[in-house]
């Protein structure tokens, strides 16, 4: 049976989203799965061949199903499949216990959403997989509030606006966070100005434990910042490549393991590399730093 194509006024609006899926996952309308095509001329029902026009619509539908007492889906995970290229949308709500999965392609092999995302209410267990984001304005790109435990961003890319932005990811008082394989870039159209002031900021005073930042590429004025008050025990910053103007890692809580990172900064490394990195040397290993006055320097410095 051939797939139908959504048409509006006799004009083809989009290919069915099943054409863009990374796996053979076409199952028709199904509870717990929602489909978004950011390029359709008119929104649909959220099925593969009648997708929603915005990610916000799919998030609303997913949260309604997860929270419905009659469904008893409180321990399940929903899925939202997204395709689209360079579409403007700013999110204010995350989906609870849900994967947002990028498929199809833009200039890159995933969709890109252009906007600024300040999340108003805590939701747990949200994962972004293979998604692209481009910032607008000059503020933060993503603001994740307290209580978004289990938030994950896996793969994909984050890009600053041409005017530059304060933070790519600001995450406050949320435990069990994973940021893995994400690339945070300057804006290629305005390389002198289009840069994040901070790549990833871990903030708050209550609960940031067991956070993992791993295998990311980060290009920002300051790469990763962990505030002194963040109780980030059990957390790790590992295997990242960071290119910064000042500190590559500013880990002020002194409880995060910092290991295996390749670090580059335009600042002077100074004695013991303190101009390039601020971390607890008792919880650091196998980091390499190249700065304005050091080349491939180990951190912590070896004790002979």
For residue 8, pLDDT beyond 80: no
Q: According to the model, what pLDDT value does residue 167 have? A: 98
| Residue predicted with more confidence, 303 or 191 | 191
pLDDT digits (tens, 9 = 90+) for 25-80: 444 335 589 999 999 999 999 999 999 999 999 999 999 999 888 888 888 899 99
Q: What is the pTM of this model?
A: 0.89
Q: According to the model, what pLDDT value does residue 263 have? A: 97
For residue 301, pLDDT beyond 90: no
For residue 228, pLDDT beyond 90: yes
Question: Which of left, alpha, beta for 86 (phi over 0: left; psi -120 to 50: alpha)?
Answer: left
Average pLDDT over residues 174-187: 98
Q: According to the model, what pLDDT value does residue 31 have? A: 59
Lowest mean pLDDT among 41-45, 84-88, 143-147: 84-88
Q: Report residue 19's pLDDT band, with 50, 70 and 90 as the boundaries.
A: low
Q: According to the model, what pLDDT value does residue 303 have? A: 61
For residue 16, pLDDT beyond 70: no
């Amino acid at each position: 049976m051939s797939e139908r194509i959504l048409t509006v006024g006799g004009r083809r609006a989009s290919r069915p989203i099943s054409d863009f899926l990374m796996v053979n996952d076409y199952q028709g309308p199904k509870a717990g799965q929602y489909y978004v095509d950011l390029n359709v001329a008119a929104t649909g029902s959220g099925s593969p061949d009648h997708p929603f026009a915005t990610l916000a619509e799919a998030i609303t539908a997913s949260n309604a199903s997860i929270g419905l007492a009659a469904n008893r889906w409180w321990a399940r995970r929903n899925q939202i499949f997204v395709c689209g290229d360079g579409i403007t949308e700013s999110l204010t709500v995350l989906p609870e216990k849900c994967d947002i999965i990028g498929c199809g392609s833009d200039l890159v092999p995933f969709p890109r959403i252009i906007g600024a995302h300040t999340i108003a209410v805590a939701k747990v267990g949200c994962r972004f997989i293979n998604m692209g984001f481009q910032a607008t304005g000059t503020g933060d790109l993503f603001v994740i509030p307290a209580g978004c435990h289990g938030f994950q961003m896996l793969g994909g890319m984050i890009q600053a606006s041409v005017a530059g932005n304060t933070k790519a990811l600001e995450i406050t008082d949320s435990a069990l966070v994973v940021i893995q394989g994400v690339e945070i870039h300057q804006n290629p159209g305005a390389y002198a100005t289009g840069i994040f002031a901070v790549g990833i900021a871990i903030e708050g005073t209550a609960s940031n434990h067991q956070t993992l930042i791993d295998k990311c590429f980060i290009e920002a004025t300051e790469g990763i910042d962990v505030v002194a008050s963040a109780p980030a025990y059990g957390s790790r910053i590992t295997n990242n490549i960071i290119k910064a103007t000042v500190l590559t890692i500013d880990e002020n809580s002194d409880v995060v393991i910092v290991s295996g990172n390749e670090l580059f900064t335009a600042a002077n490394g100074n004695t013991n590399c303190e101009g390039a990195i601020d971390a607890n040397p008792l919880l650091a290993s196998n980091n390499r730093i190249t700065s304005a006055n050091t080349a491939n320097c180990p951190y912590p410095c070896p004790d002979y």
